[in-house]
Structure 1
Amino acid sequence: MTKTSTEIQNDIYQFIQTYATTDDQQLSESDFNRVALDLFDYQFKSNLPYKRYAQSQRKSPLIVNNWQSIPLMPIQGYKQLTLSTTPVQKDEPVFMSSGTTDPNHRSHNYHPSFKVWDASMKYPFKQFVLPDRDKMTILGLFPGEKTNSNSSLSRYVTKAIDFFGDDKSGIFIDENGMDYQGIVGALKDAERQGRPVMLLGASFSYVHLLDYLNEQKLTFKLPVDSRLFDTGGFKGQSRSVDAQDLFDAIKNTFNIDRDHYINMYGMTEISSQCYDQNLVRLYHHLPLDYTKAAPAWVRVRILSTDTLQPVESGHAGLIAYYDLANWNSCVAILTEDMGIQDENGFEVSGRVQGAEAKGCSIAVDQLLHANQM
């Protein structure tokens, strides 16, 4: 019997609680497979566009017997279709992708409840970003939820401070721009008091902050254990930035070493994030590894851009993302990001380009054809 929305959310929440402190996917594999199949069954019955696409791939809960066989929703589906297992309410929270001013060409991910989303965010953040402490000063360099309620990253930054920020924490950017003077004051206070801080923002937040600090000829010797968190990439609308140049600038400006720089992989269309492993490994006295790890309720596979079949370890391909926390839309997503994976983790190598996009294009064509009315 297909489970209800409440039952599905409770099962996923319980899974997250059970495996919150481990990224050992072998330990959770049996339970992951069970919950993923239940979730696919629920979404197949309750999410009509996903059902139509699955049927076009000759996939159904009667045929699919392992999570690897669950049909992957092309990420473009979130722009073209309403992917929700529950009826969309007038004032229902929805995350929308950035990059265009036309709301009709932005991804939409609906969230009738944040219980699972918040749990999925909270535990890996503690594991990978704060492995050495429960609270610290967090300086947010991305607008918060009150400023942009349609941004998943805005909610992320707000919840990070709610869950893990001390009373010196805050968000230093809003609709009027970045509060450079406030950031400088907070950094000087931390430097003077010997209090470690975390800078937390989108990748290009740091480009603009570093430009300002360079113009003002300001540098800081932040205390040991300070860290910098970013998400996204450095190919922006204004200019591209070389990653090594950025690492050098961060070291010279903030006194934060590369091993305390963490990048998070996330997007509007998913509900869980993956993290660089360097900080958690550093504090557990393990060899450093800068590849990304997924929480126990996420699986990542790398697929051929031509055939959408798995590639060998160490070979580049499209990132396929299986996320139990994405209970209201699609558990399995075909991204447009390229990656490389080995036994330790995976790296994101960029966006799919040109001829490499063949597999994505075919999948999107099949999706739209299946949902023609």
Structure 2
Amino acid sequence: MTERIADLRAAVLEMIRRGADQPRDDAAFNALALRLFAYQFRANEPYRKYCEKRGRTPDKVQSWLEIPPVPIAAFKELTLTCEPVEHAVACFMTSGTTNPKKRGRHYHFTLEVYDASATTFFKANVLPDVDRLRLLILGSPPDLMPNSSLSHYLWLMCCNFGASGSSFYIGKEGLEADRLLADLRAAEQTGESVCLLGASFAFVHVLDLCRQQGLRFRLPAGSRVMDTGGFKGRSREVPQDALYGLIGEHIGVAADRCVNMYGMTELSMQCYDSPLRRARLGRQEMRTMEAPPWARTIILDPETLAVAPEGEQGIICHYDLANCSSVVGILTEDLGVATREGFRFLGRVKGAESRGCSVSVDEMLAAAGKTTP
């Protein structure tokens, strides 16, 4: 029987609405992943050709672990969608730091699933103890960056969880530093808790300003920070521990109230490294990324793309049920290691470590009748 995408989206939404704390039901996840794979195999032509080349078809695949993941580089070369692109309500694009002329594109034909996934897991990880907080956003609103999944995500959180006074601080002319610093000082003086959130490198700019001007803030109890993204294409990198140390020194928010979000244009869910959530759940493990119950993350051997033995480094691979109209499996170019509760992100894959990714890209383009870029 051919399933309708509306029924599949409804099933995914039903799982998301059970919340972040629902039991990890592997059987239910597997069943829905296989239903989505059957639909995507039928409706996504480049993906179907790739799966056929690898001998992975719905009648042979019995587990979500057997569903072929798509390397993210393929999103720059192929249109990986199950519906006509002219019907898309949003097209999120990668930043193009590797090659500005080739940006990955992820089309969405409704944002209902994306938004439900994003808001549900954000609440559980960033605001587990409050319903709303004033959000000071180190980012640009969607009207300035309509193809940025991060801008949409930040706008979504502002609309759903932002208290009065929530605002974006990166406009057409760049960082509106004076306004941000004034609002930080006002929050400190009034005792109003805030959440400072945005791209990791934007925090570096703010912290540089604080250091240059000799500024130190002590934000009120209940304040927190959420940073996301790394330093790809930037002039310098700041290790996470060092970044959180500087945030504590200049902003006055301790590391145990700093949350790191891991997201990708090619995904419809986000993962979090959240001390706030771990404290609420009584978990002891420190600094580990957790995917939501409607996703699974595994670590693959860089050479063979087989599941890596526990404790060994490998390529991070996500299976995201919220990716209804593209592909469920996403093979990243990130290095990680599995932990008891999730995974640790170790950085970008480099050189020889990426052989498995490169072979997968070549196979996918060959199956689609395209030459290797």
| Cα distance in 2 between the residues matched to 1:235 and 1:54 | 31
Structure 1 length as normaliser, TM-score? Answer: 0.96
Q: From 78, 82, 96, give the equivalent of 2:79.
A: 82
Matched to 1:13, the amino acid is L
| Cα distance in 2 between the residues matched to 1:15 and 1:115 | 13
**Correspondence 1:147 to 2:144:** yes
Tell me the residue number matched to 1:185.
Answer: 182
* Structure 1 unpaired stretches of 5+: none
Deviation for aligned residue 1:333: 1.0
Does structure 1 retain, via aligned residues, the 8 Å contact 2:288–2:339? no
> Could you report, residue by residue, the CA deviation over 1:324-372 in whole angstroms, capped at 9, with x for unpaired residues?
0011110001111110002222101011111111111111111111000
Deviation for aligned residue 1:233: 1.4
Does structure 1 retain, via aligned residues, the 8 Å contact 2:259–2:273? yes
Does structure 1 retain, via aligned residues, the 8 Å contact 2:93–2:104? yes
Does structure 1 retain, via aligned residues, the 8 Å contact 2:96–2:102? no
Deviation for aligned residue 1:235: 4.9
Structure 2 length as normaliser, TM-score? Answer: 0.96
Does structure 1 retain, via aligned residues, the 8 Å contact 2:200–2:230? yes
**Correspondence 1:245 to 2:242:** yes
Tell me the residue number matched to 2:213.
Answer: 216
Deviation for aligned residue 1:71: 0.7
| Cα distance in 1 between the residues matched to 2:97 and 2:352 | 24
> Could you report, residue by residue, the CA deviation over 1:275-307 in whole angstroms, capped at 9, with x for unpaired residues?
013111223444352101110001001000011
| Cα distance in 1 between the residues matched to 2:283 and 2:347 | 28
| Cα distance in 2 between the residues matched to 1:10 and 1:163 | 21
**Correspondence 1:21 to 2:4:** no
| Cα distance in 2 between the residues matched to 1:12 and 1:73 | 20
Deviation for aligned residue 1:189: 1.7
Deviation for aligned residue 1:92: 3.8
Tell me the residue number matched to 2:3.
Answer: 3
Does structure 1 retain, via aligned residues, the 8 Å contact 2:88–2:107? no
Tell me the residue number matched to 1:271.
Answer: 268
Deviation for aligned residue 1:153: 0.2
Tell me the residue number matched to 2:312.
Answer: 315
Matched to 2:17, the amino acid is Q
1:287-326 matches, within 5 Å, as 287=284, 289-326=286-323
Matched to 2:306, the amino acid is Q
CA pair 101-276 structure 1, distance change in 2 beyond 3 A: closer
SS at match of 1:71: coil
Does structure 2 retain, via aligned residues, the 8 Å contact 1:276–1:292? yes
Identity, % of aligned pairs? 41
Does structure 2 retain, via aligned residues, the 8 Å contact 1:142–1:173? yes
SS at match of 2:260: strand
CA pair 90-67 structure 1, distance change in 2 beyond 3 A: closer
**Correspondence 1:98 to 2:89:** no
Matched to 2:251, the amino acid is F
> Could you report, residue by residue, the CA deviation over 1:77-105 in whole angstroms, capped at 9, with x for unpaired residues?
10110011000117741000003496651
Does structure 1 retain, via aligned residues, the 8 Å contact 2:197–2:225? yes
Deviation for aligned residue 1:236: 4.4
**Correspondence 1:137 to 2:126:** no
| Cα distance in 2 between the residues matched to 1:89 and 1:103 | 23
| Cα distance in 1 between the residues matched to 2:22 and 2:221 | 27
**Correspondence 1:33 to 2:30:** yes
Matched to 1:136, the amino acid is L
Tell me the residue number matched to 2:47.
Answer: 50
* Structure 2 unpaired stretches of 5+: none
| Cα distance in 2 between the residues matched to 1:285 and 1:333 | 31
CA pair 277-249 structure 1, distance change in 2 beyond 3 A: closer
SS at match of 1:89: helix
| Cα distance in 1 between the residues matched to 2:101 and 2:60 | 34
| Cα distance in 2 between the residues matched to 1:36 and 1:103 | 33
Matched to 1:8, the amino acid is L
Deviation for aligned residue 1:244: 3.0
Deviation for aligned residue 1:6: 1.2
Deviation for aligned residue 1:186: 1.4
**Correspondence 1:231 to 2:228:** yes
Q: Which moved more, 1:116-125 or 1:176-185?
A: 176-185
| Cα distance in 1 between the residues matched to 2:239 and 2:334 | 19
Q: CA RMSD in A?
A: 1.6
SS at match of 2:86: coil
Matched to 2:169, the amino acid is F
Does structure 1 retain, via aligned residues, the 8 Å contact 2:256–2:276? yes
**Correspondence 1:362 to 2:355:** no
SS at match of 1:329: coil
CA pair 229-291 structure 1, distance change in 2 beyond 3 A: same
